[in-house]
Amino acid sequence: MANFKPTFQLYKHLLIILTAAALFWVAVPDQAVAAKTDRYVVKKGDTLWDIAKRFLNDPWLWPEVWHINPTIRNPHLIYPGDVVLLSYVDGKPYLTLEGKAGVPVPKKGLKTVRLSPKPHAQPLEKAITTLPYDLIGPFLKHASVIAEDDILEDAPYIVSSFEEHLVTGSGSKVYARGMTDSGTGNFTVVRPGVTYRDPQTDDILGYEVLHIADARVVKLGEPASLVIGEASQEVLNEDRLLPYEGKKPDFYFFPSAPSKPINGQIISVMGGVSLIGQYSVVVLNRGEADGMVTGHVLAVNQDGAYVRDPVDRSPVKLPDERAGLMMIFRTFEKVSYALILEAERSMTINDRFTNP
């Protein structure tokens, strides 16, 4: 056999092949997939974010690797008992839905018994939500932000309660003035909240509207008579009435990163606290007008502190540090509500957020 001596041309070809292979692996989003599991049976109480974290290092990349199965009853929703599978096609990771787990295959040769149908009530299993229902439910159902404060100024208002009771709650009768729309029977009792302003420009971004109760008109007039339904607070004189929209809140959306660079700040935190931690609900100074949609995942960053150089005594700004991750679950024109999902340290109002 002749002696084989590698030539420069061979080295060149090998280098090209290795470089192309390296580029291929960089292009594939494998770095987003964690070697945690390749199969998971969905359980009651899971959220889509929980499941995404089981498979992905970067859960907001879920839409890039999720491939719906058209044979499943509703390919856009995931239910307890469904099986999520991780597989690879041409080196790329894919997440798919296998279907219901735990249903045994009937054995052959078994005796068949005919049963008469009997009524049996059993609640249907609900699809899992993207985020915990108990944390975001009240803000999806009741909280709101309006663009103009004159919406409340021109709205009907409570003038008194029946027999001027000091405490007015569920089941109580109240009277309101300004009820001109005879076609509307259901209202929401609201109260003005805080005014949201941009921390950089001081421009007004919106007005918070606090949900107080639901109310139903029982007799039109001036004043009109209403009965209070479900109430979260005591109804007071001067509380305003807005038509009940009756929209069903949407708890199902996919985590994703914004498609364009975004920068903003946290301008408020719900609950009357100053420090922000995991599962806090915060208000952002970016909304639908800025391209924000439900499911967007954002990174919260804290400005690096200034320190004095110990050698030349000059001021030095330390790098900004990531403080946590949050997901937008409700949007308005110029502001959004987000839930803090991960907190590496305590956060505060005015902390900045960017793409994850």
| Domains of the chain by start residue, with CATH | 21-100 (no CATH), 139-243 (no CATH), 264-354 (2.40.10.410)
**Sign of the dihedral through C-alpha 60, 64, 66, 70:** positive
pLDDT in tens, 87-133: 888 878 888 888 554 434 344 444 444 444 444 443 446 889 999 99
Neighbours of 105 (CB within 10 A): 5
d(CA 159, CA 235): 11
Integer distance in angstroms from the first to the last C-alpha of the chain? 58
* pLDDT tens for each residue of 158-170: 999 887 776 677 8
Question: What are the 10-residue block averages of pLDDT along the chain, 356 residues in total?
Answer: 46 40 39 68 93 91 81 75 87 78 43 44 67 91 85 91 76 90 80 94 95 92 91 91 81 91 95 86 96 96 89 90 95 96 92 95
Sign of CA dihedral 6, 12, 17, 21: positive
